[in-house]
A and B are shown apart, each in its own frame.
Chain A
């Protein structure tokens, strides 16, 4: 432990974490706190995606389905329970169970397919959830969505800020232990060479299903936080763009690093906010999505390994 404290990397991390804890002291602007809470919850979502893409080598286009399951569990149960604590806890249990079951079933039937087909079939499953949410209007109010009350604890934005931050740190620590555990090593082996791992005697499909189940459950936690941050939920939570956000965040930061997912969430959320605010400056920026699209293109062309990847490469050379 003492040696670790001397490591500049650890020190930097501790410093950044401390900075995140004291941020609310410097600002009491609600919108800034909101932005940071959103960054943290999307970082959780991106972390779950990094476990799949970065550590196991599974590319899913349907990760939003777990995000949506979390969001709708929170929304529907809190609406029924009128924002009671008990219903909030119930929502967590329901979201975790549902995402566990769904990810298990989807994983078991589709992880046998090759990469491209797995990506397409997860896209299809997510689309099914999207359609379900749109058509089951009595429960979800369709595209219009619905607002719902949240437990009084979250009325204070500061409490919500710290909830997201602490959950992010907790999940980050658990995941960094997990990816270096024996099981985590096997997942990385699968990413590097699936056939060889299989021939070493590991049931690859079991480990892949395990990874998608963990990834799905963590993503549903992010979904719960997202719904609570907006106090509103609609079909957009199942949208492909949510999956693509997670993909982009993971890649921008650097895949298979965990830190990258958090960093990516900062970059993307800031970019979203900053670019959409430009619209007030000049009418030409009303089409700010063009700039966002250009960001996608430029990142792939110039930072294919992400920010952390580019940094590491420089250090090595």
Chain B
């Protein structure tokens, strides 16, 4: 393999990894921090992707699409948390069932609103095309994804580790009763974290559209497992861990696709099994 190929593979792997991180970042909050087994997480990607594509097609503004997609995610997250998550905090079996139900409803509703057929999601003109450096071809949109991933990572880390609200969230996760006793409405805080997670997932969904070229109602289900794998590998509740795990999964997938395409699907699952067996709490678990 030549250097050119190696660099291309690495860039592709990084871009895929960052996209996976974007999809998983919301889940890190919802599943990793709050311990909610949200099997409807994929529905946020799907609704984000469809709303984003619909607004972009209608108005021609990609930024408008991104904002609209995030808003859709937050609204759905708000309603879902109120109606279905609040009654089942701390009860994993009920969470699985109820969120699966929500997933079925939300995925079918996508077919009702946007139709069951795949929708084309073009790359906006500004980000279309590629740069050529020597023999290496760098696709602009992939660089954009990497940048967005880094921005999200930095923003989330700052929010969680440096801000007051981040302090409350982390305290609430480790000792809910104590935080409540200090006069903080923990229910409201959890609801906000859930909405933030939903919005992030929808953001990932909007960016996923142009990356894959088309979207179809099944994208939620397809990418959900990947998000779970990344969160588990990274260690529950660790934003940095999720980013590292996303990159690891992205690079592994990119190299596997080159050397042994048959195994590309299995590599993520094997990676997770391996990590869990060697480090049962994930690679970067700070929650103890």
Contacts and interface: CB of A to CB of B under 8 A. Distances in A.
Q: Interface size for chain A: under 10, 10 to 19, 20 to 34, or 35 or more residues?
A: 35 or more
Contact of B101 (A109, A112, A296, A304): A296
Interface stretch (B103-111, B131-139, B160-168, B205-213): B103-111
Interface in B242-288: 262, 265-266, 269-270, 272-273, 276-277, 280-281
B92 A112 contact: no
Contacts of B103: 293
Contact of A123 (B84, B101, B225): B225
A247 interface: yes
A308 B229 CA distance: 36
A290 B228 contact: no
A120 B232 contact: yes
B267 to A, nearest CB: 10
B1 interface: no
Contacts of A53: 93
A135 B260 CA distance: 13
A290 B277 contact: no
B230 to A, nearest CB: 11
Contact of A300 (B97, B262, B270, B280): B97
B101 A287 contact: no
Q: Interface size for chain B: under 10, 10 to 19, 20 to 34, or 35 or more residues?
A: 35 or more
Contacts of A292: 101, 104
Contacts of B181: none
A259 B101 CA distance: 24
A interface: dominant SS: helix
Given A287-B112, A289-B108, A299 B262 contact: no
Contacts of A289: 104, 107-108
A116 B37 contact: yes
B81 interface: no
A124 to B, nearest CB: 4
Contacts, number: 105
B102 interface: yes
B interface: dominant SS: helix
A247 B96 contact: yes
A295 B97 CA distance: 10
Contacts of B281: 117
A301 B98 contact: yes
A293 to B, nearest CB: 3
Interface string B206-234: 00000000000000000001001100100
Contact of B111 (A114, A127, A287, A300): A287
A115 interface: yes
A42 B262 CA distance: 33
A116 B104 CA distance: 22
B270 A128 contact: yes
Contacts of B157: none
B87 interface: yes
A297 interface: yes
B232 A304 contact: no
B273 A300 contact: no
A213 to B, nearest CB: 19
A92 interface: no
Interface of B: 35, 37, 84, 87-88, 91-94, 96-98, 100-105, 107-109, 111-112, 225, 228-229, 232, 236, 262, 265-266, 269-270, 272-273, 276-277, 280-281
6 contacts: A120-B272, A134-B265, A293-B105, A294-B101, A297-B101, A300-B84
Given A135-B262, A251-B97, 12 more contacts: A117-B232, A125-B269, A247-B93, A292-B101, A292-B104, A293-B101, A293-B108, A294-B101, A295-B101, A296-B97, A297-B98, A297-B105
Among all A-B residue pairs, the 5 with the closest Cβ atoms: A296-B101, A293-B104, A293-B105, A297-B101, A300-B98
